[in-house]
A and B are shown apart, each in its own frame.
Chain A
Amino acid sequence: MSSPALRIENLGKRYRIGTRERYATLRDTLSRFATAPFRHPRSSEAQSAMRHAQSDFIWAMRNVSFEVPQGEVLGIIGRNGAGKSTLLKILSRITDPTEGYADIRGRVGSLLEVGTGFHPELTGRENIYLNGAILGMKKAEIDRKLDEIVAFAEVERFLDTPVKHYSSGMYVRLAFAVAAHLEPEILIVDEVLAVGDAQFQRKCLGKMSDVAQGGRTILFVSHNMPAVQRLCSRCVLLESGRAVQDGPAPAVIRSYLAESIGSAYVREPLPAKATPYFTAAAIEDAHGSPLSAPLSSDPICLAVRWHVPEPVPNLRVGIGINSAHGTRIFGSAPEDDGAVTPSASGTHEARIRIPADLLLAGQYTVALCLWGDAIYDYPDPAFSFRVEPGPSPAYSRDGARDGLIQVRCSWEITAPNRNVAANAAPGSRCR
C-alpha cells in the first residue's frame, strides 16, 4: 500500500503539426529508408527537427510530474487543449510519451470513450463480449458479469437485437455498462459521463463513486466540476500542458473556475435553436463600456442581451450572483422591480443595477437564466468579475471582510446609562 499506484516523472509529449510537411518527407523517408532500413525513426526525426523550424512542433504536455497513492481518486481539470487528453492517452498506453516516464502498478482500465469497438451488425450480447475483450476483460469474467451488465444497461429485451437497431440512448447505456463493470486497479476515465440523459448520468456517477469506495485508484477528467468535486479528493490543474496546481480538490477547482471563466459572456457561435438564449453579458460602467473590476462603493451595472427567435409563453429572464465558492448570494428578475420580461421575438437587452455597497470586494460569478414552461438557457457560471474595495466606510480600515455581502445597517450607540445593569436586555429603541 505504501508504493504509489502511479508515478509520473517529467512526462512530455511533442506533436508535429502541419500536414503539408508530412508529404514533403515521404520522399525523404523513402530515401533514408533505402540507405538505412533499420535505423530508428527517431534519429531521422532529430534530423528533420534541425531542418524544420522549431514551430513545426508543439508540446501538448511537458514536465508533468505527480504521484497518485493507491485508492486515491484524482481529478484532472483544465481548459480544452490544456493537455488532459494527451496525459490520459499516454497513461492508457495509446500513445508513447516523447520524454519522461510513468510507472503504473496494477491493471489499468481506461474509458476514453464508451462503445469503442461496438459493431453495428452484432447483437447486444455479442457486443458485450467483443467490447469487454477489447477493454481487457476475460471471457470468463464477462460470462460472470453478463446479467449485471444487462441489468445496468436496461436492455434485457433487446439483448439479441443487432445494436444498429438500438436507440442512441440504449447504445450509450450498454456501452457504459460494459465499461463500468471492468474492474481494474487503476481506472482512467475521460469525459465519458457527458453522455446519456440526466438520469443515466446520475447512475453513472453513482457507479463511479461505488468504484471509488471500493478502494480503486481513479483518474477522472471532466469539465463537470460538481462531479469532480463529489468524486475526487485531490485535483491536478493543467494549463498549456503543465501541471500548474496540485492539491485538495475544492481549492484547485475554485482557482480553475475563477480563471477559466471570462470577464464577459459571449455566445459564440450563435446557436441555431428556436428557443430563447443569451447572446452576451458583461459588467459595464455608467457609460456602457465594459468593466472587469468595479468598485464596491459604486453601483455595479450588469448588461445582459438575449435573443427570442419566436415568442414563448410565460418567458422570464433572471440573473444570479454567486460567490467564488459557487454559493448563490441572490437572484433577480425584472418582475422584482415591477418590470416585465418581454415576450416578443427579437433581441432584448437589460441593464441591471446592483446597489453600491452591497457586494464585498472579491470574486463573483454571474448566472443567467431564461425560463418559462421549461428552462431555455441557463449558463451558470456565465462569467466572473472581481469587485475591488472602494472608498466606502466598509473598507476604510485595512483587512478583509467576512460574509457574503455588506449591509449598511444603522447603528445607534448610546452613552453609558448608570441605571441599567450591564447585562440587562437592551431596550426596544430601534426604529
Chain B
Amino acid sequence: MEAFERSSVVRIAPARGRLSPRLHELWAYRELLYFLVWRDVKVRYKQTVLGAAWAVIQPFLGMVVFSLFFGKLAKVPSDGVPYPIFSYAALVPWTYFATAIASGGNSLVSSQNLISKVYFPRLLIPIAAVVTPLVDLAIAFGVLLLMMLWYGMLPTAAILWLPGLLMLAVAAALASSLWLSALNVEYRDVRYVIPFLVQFWLFATPVAYPASLLPPPWRTLYGLNPMAGVVEGFRWALLGTPAPGAMTLVSCLVVVVLLIAGLIHFRRVEGTFADVI
C-alpha cells in the first residue's frame, strides 16, 4: 500500500460518474481480505462445539433427506448414478452458494461498525463473505471424494473443468451478494427476503432432480439460473453424467452480466453506505 499511495495524490470528490472498480486498491488491501476471512473462520470454530463437522453435516443431512424422499419415495431419476451421490455432488456447491449469499447479503449491515468508522475498499466485505464458506466447501468436498471411493466411481477427464465450475459458483455468489448487500444497506427488507430467496432458488436448481427432466431447448434456457449450470457441471465433472454444455455457457454469461452490473452499482452507492447504514 505504501508503495502506491506514497507521494501519489488521492482526490476525494463526489461519486458522479465513477466507474473504475479500483482493482489495484483491492489488491493493495489483500491482507485485510485474508484477515477478515481468517477472523470469520476462527470465530466460528471458537464459538461452535462441532466446528468443522458442520461443514459436512449440512450437505450430508440434506443428502439423507433427499435420498429418502426424492430418491426412494418419489423415485426421481438420477441420470444413472446412485441417488445419494447424485444429490450430494449437487449439495456441495449448493450449500456453499446458499451460505455465501446468506452471509454475503447481510455482510455490509453486520459490518456497520467498520463501515462507519474506517475506510477500506467496501468490496472486501462481500468478497470475504463469499470466500469464507469455501473452507466448508473444501471439507464437504473431501467427504464427496470419500463417497466416490465408496461407490467405486472414478472421475473422468472432465474433472479438469472443476476449478472453472467452482469459480463460476464463487462468481455467482459474489454477484448475488453485491446486489443483496448493497440493497440491504438501504432497505433492511432484504434481510427477510434472503431466506425465501435461498429456499426458492434451491427448488429452481437441479439439486434434488436432474436437469435432464427438461427437453433440450428448455434445458439451455435453464442456464439462466447460474446455479443450474454449476450443479449440473459438478455432476458432469465428477460423476460423468451428460455434459451440460450450452446450459453452463448461458450460466457463465448471466453471471458475468450480473457481476459487472453489480460491481458498477456497488461502486456508485458505496460512498454513501456510511450515511444510510
Contact = CB atoms under 8 A, between A and B. Distances in A.
A136 B274 contact: no
Of B43, B186, B275, B276, the most chain A CB neighbours within 10 A belong to B275
Contacts of A130: 35, 38-39
A134 B114 CA distance: 8
Contacts of B32: 133-134, 136
A90 B10 CA distance: 12
Contacts of A110: 118-119
Interface string B88-120: 000000000000000000000000011111111
A122 B42 contact: yes
B7 A94 contact: no
Interface in B1-49: 1-2, 5-17, 29, 31-32, 34-35, 38-39, 42-43, 46-47
A260 interface: no
A353 interface: no
B268 interface: yes
B31 A133 contact: yes
Given A134-B114, A185-B6, A107 B274 contact: no
Contacts of B187: 26
B156 interface: no
Contacts of B47: 121
Contact of B12 (A101, A117, A119, A129): A101
A230 interface: no
A45 to B, nearest CB: 10
A89 interface: yes
Contacts of B43: 119, 121-122
Nearest to B16: A42
Give the size range of A's interface with the partner.
Answer: 35 or more
Interface string A98-119: 1111111111101011001101
A104 B275 CA distance: 22
Nearest to A90: B12
B264 interface: yes
B9 A95 contact: no
Given A98-B14, A117-B114, A117-B118, A37 B261 contact: yes
A83 interface: no
Contacts of A126: 39, 42
Interface in A56-92: 89-92
Contacts of B118: 92, 94, 110, 112, 116-117, 134-135
Nearest to B189: A26
Interface SS of B by simple majority: helix
Give the size range of B's interface with the partner.
Answer: 35 or more
A106 B7 contact: yes
Contacts of A129: 35
Contact of B120 (A96, A103, A134): A134
Contacts of A92: 118-119
B58 interface: no
Given A15-B275, A107-B6, A116-B113, A94 B35 contact: no
Given A101-B12, A130-B35, A133-B35, A94 B117 contact: yes
A162 B2 CA distance: 31
B264 to A, nearest CB: 7
Nearest to A96: B271
Contacts of A98: 14
Nearest to B13: A101
A117 B113 contact: yes
A228 to B, nearest CB: 22
B268 A41 contact: yes
A185 B2 CA distance: 10
Nearest to A98: B14
Nearest to B28: A136
A180 to B, nearest CB: 15
A32 interface: no
Nearest to A93: B119
Contacts of A113: 117
Contact of B14 (A97, A105, A121, A185): A97
Contacts of A91: 12
A203 interface: no
27 contacts: A26-B187, A26-B189, A38-B261, A38-B265, A40-B16, A40-B17, A42-B15, A90-B12, A96-B12, A97-B13, A103-B9, A103-B12, A104-B9, A106-B5, A107-B6, A108-B10, A112-B118, A113-B117, A116-B113, A116-B114, A122-B39, A130-B38, A130-B39, A133-B35, A136-B120, A139-B31, A162-B46
Interface of A: 15, 22, 26, 37-38, 40-42, 89-108, 110, 112-113, 116-117, 119, 121-122, 126, 129-130, 133-136, 138-139, 162, 185
Given A40-B268, A121-B42, 12 more contacts: A95-B274, A96-B13, A97-B13, A102-B11, A103-B10, A106-B5, A108-B10, A110-B119, A121-B43, A126-B42, A130-B38, A136-B32
Interface of B: 1-2, 5-17, 29, 31-32, 34-35, 38-39, 42-43, 46-47, 113-120, 186-187, 189, 261, 264-265, 268-269, 271-276
9 nearest A-B pairs in the assembled complex, by CB-CB distance: A96-B271, A101-B13, A93-B119, A133-B35, A95-B274, A102-B12, A116-B117, A133-B32, A94-B274
